[in-house]
Structure 1
Amino acid sequence: MTATAPTGGRIEIAGLTKRFRGFSAVEDLSFDVEPGRITGFLGPNGAGKTTTLRMVLGLVRPTSGYATIGGYRYGELERPLSTVGAALEATNFHPGRSGRDHLRVLADAASIPTARVDELLELTGIPAAARKRAGAYSMGMRQRLGLAAALLGDPQVLVLDEPTNGLDPEGIRWLRGFLRRLSDEGKTILVSSHLLREVEATVDDVVIIANGRLVQAGTMADLRGTAGALVRTSDAEALAGALRVADVTSSPGEEPDTLVAETTDLRLVGDVALRAGLPVYGLEPRSTDLEQLYFSLTEGTNRNEGAQSAADQQVPHQPAPDQDPGAASAEEVSS
């Protein structure tokens, strides 16, 4: 049976496992990617991110478990290009073709009007380079061309692997706003990245994996935890007592002479310290830092070398538009 995923295509990954000759690239991985939200997919090199994305797109067969898009496996979709847009590589084009011709070939194969090609060249900011050979594009331009290709069929779901690679700060800022606009339209967006600060500024939800396993998942708000205020003072114990009188709970900070107050009202903390006659040398908002959380969860888990070298390193070809990739046999263990 074939079908087109309904509007608001939800990605569901359940018990997804992939083993290569005894090496487990992905192990019992489960998480969901919701419509109208940007989900950041994080993990060290060799954690299994790209292998997971390839299983979602039918390019690698799972050993067990499944991944569905709008309730269907990728190979069951009647018109995948109009359901799922994917950009896994910034080199998936003929270097002798112009950027415009590359998109036209993809559009013709999927019966998409040429007008859509020109619309996307404008939308992704590369109309001036459209007639140049794609082989001469910078990495940033290749990323934009890959994004344009992913959006050809106006899909409900976007799967992007390291889309900020090669982009300058202006390009990263543009991509952030572009993805936010797409999510506001209700699209489902799954983005892998190693730029933690950029992820923190872009995504709604975060999935962190290490050694092929899920280690943390949740909304950015949940991962940040309870917001508070970090205070530096000469007498943290006295200030904690003064804050208790003002019904503000606090706890010792990680550094000497610091206190973490469970309030976002910095003015209140300052006023309490002033009334108590206690000097304050620093006062700033405090929340869980994604980078700090990431490293605390993944430190020492990088398996990019050693065990991974024993796994198959074949790189599968991307399926042609509207081609059922279910028969693809080439597999890859990657980041």
Structure 2
Amino acid sequence: MEMVTTAGLTRRFGKLTAVKPLTVDLPAGKVIGLVGPNGSGKSTLIRMLLGLMRPSAGDATVLGAPISAPQRYLGRVGALVENPAFVPGLSARANLMSLARLRGLPNTRVDAVLHTVGLTGRDREPVKRYSLGMKQRLGIAAALLPDPALLILDEPTNGLDPSGIVEIRSLLAQLGTAGRTVLVSSHLLSEIEAICEHLVVIRFGELLYSGPITGLLTSAGQHVDLRAEHDADTLRLVQTLQAQGWQVASNTDGEVRVSAGAQDAAPINRAAHAAGITLRSLSVARDSLEDVFLAMTGDTDQQLMAGRATEARQGAL
């Protein structure tokens, strides 16, 4: 069974189309990454699925029910959208007990979700003492209270420090092994690459890819990474290889990347040697999933802003 289906789902804000006609199916029982640059319509899509925003056109179903009747499925959906809100002076347990009573859920669910998110033993402390990462875990606990068939998390690591990101990643990996369907949105693929089986990639509301991560990796290429022994030779190394016809890029750390495969490693080494440049290192690697993602969506904020500006101009015509 498909957990979510959309058919031409569209959302416009004036002349800007935040979600273009989107037709996609999300499978059950998997951790699904909804990824794309900031401003690509991920949160807008999630709000339509949760009945918080009406589509401009098209339709969708969640757990087999239409999004025009969210009351038919929201009882089986848990969601964390933006920063969770709790009463700061109350303990985590008291906050969750209040939410459980409001939803007519048994108190045993509070103990269960506190254990799941790893807050047992800290649950009687006031929420105002919690770190941001702990508050995010508490927000996920609140979303898990109804024991949902579908859990939707919108940018769960947004604003967290590195340790908080690691905490939430670990929790999401744990939730993924429990058999429920989890939809996680992010603008950084590295946050969810290790835990997601299925990816949906959108850019400015347009679907670029939907399917298993392994399917996206089939488009990955290879590259050769190398460094000159002396940093002063880096620019000359780049120029030498470009003159030989290779596509070359370098970063501020002195690493030089050549878009080439394993068969080109020896010729690259010989070209550097012929130019009088000794290499400190040379290695061949396959492009990562993040490399593929950035190639699809844009490498820099400037590229993304330019793309969005083009979209806005076209919408105004």
TM over 0.5: yes
**How do residues 113-132 of structure 1 correspond to structure 2 at under 5 angstroms?**
113-132=106-125
Amino acid at match of 2:9: L
Q: Aligned match of 2:100 in 94, 97, 107?
A: 107
Whole-Å separation in 2 of the counterparts to 1:166 and 1:124: 19
Q: CA deviation at 1:89?
A: 2.2
Which secondary structure state, in structure 2, belongs to the residue aligned with residue 200 of structure 1?
coil
Match of 1:238 in 2: none
Q: 1:304 to 1:72 in 2, by over 3 A?
A: farther
Match of 1:139 in 2: 132
Which secondary structure state, in structure 2, belongs to the residue aligned with residue 202 of structure 1?
coil
Q: CA deviation at 1:157?
A: 0.6
Q: 1:232 to 1:108 in 2, by over 3 A?
A: closer
Aligned CA RMSD, in angstroms, stands at 3.5
Kept after mapping to 1: 8 A contact 2:169/2:192: no
Amino acid at match of 1:45: N
Kept after mapping to 2: 8 A contact 1:232/1:259: no
Match of 1:95 in 2: 88
Kept after mapping to 2: 8 A contact 1:11/1:70: yes
Which secondary structure state, in structure 2, belongs to the residue aligned with residue 127 of structure 1?
coil
Q: 1:128 to 1:86 in 2, by over 3 A?
A: same
Matched, 1:62 2:55: yes
Moved over 4 A (4+): 76-79, 166-171, 226-233, 252-259, 303-309
Whole-Å separation in 2 of the counterparts to 1:40 and 1:154: 20
How many residues end up aligned between the 2 structures? 269
Identity over the aligned pairs, expressed in percent? 40
Match of 1:295 in 2: 294
- Greater relative contact order: 1 or 2 (C-alpha under 8 angstroms, separation 6 or more)? 1
Q: Aligned match of 1:26 in 19, 25, 34?
A: 19
Which secondary structure state, in structure 1, belongs to the residue aligned with residue 194 of structure 2?
helix
Whole-Å separation in 1 of the counterparts to 2:246 and 2:214: 21
Amino acid at match of 2:296: L
Q: CA deviation at 1:213?
A: 1.4
Q: CA deviation at 1:44?
A: 1.8
Q: Alpha-carbon deviations, 1:178-214, whole Å to 9, x = none? A: 3334333331111011332222222112212122211
Kept after mapping to 2: 8 A contact 1:161/1:192: yes
**How do residues 240-259 of structure 1 correspond to structure 2 at under 5 angstroms?**
254-255=247-248, 259=260
Kept after mapping to 1: 8 A contact 2:9/2:55: yes
Match of 1:85 in 2: 78
Amino acid at match of 1:80: L
TM-score, reference length from structure 1: 0.68
Kept after mapping to 2: 8 A contact 1:164/1:172: yes
**How do residues 323-334 of structure 1 correspond to structure 2 at under 5 angstroms?**
none
TM-score, reference length from structure 2: 0.72
Q: Alpha-carbon deviations, 1:208-237, whole Å to 9, x = none? A: 21222112333211111167876689xxxx
Whole-Å separation in 2 of the counterparts to 1:102 and 1:232: 52
Match of 1:5 in 2: none
Matched, 1:200 2:193: yes
Amino acid at match of 1:119: A
**How do residues 117-196 of structure 1 correspond to structure 2 at under 5 angstroms?**
117-196=110-189
Amino acid at match of 2:74: P
| Unaligned segments of structure 1, at least 5 residues | 1-7, 234-251, 263-268, 271-279, 310-335
Match of 2:253 in 1: none
Which secondary structure state, in structure 1, belongs to the residue aligned with residue 192 of structure 2?
helix
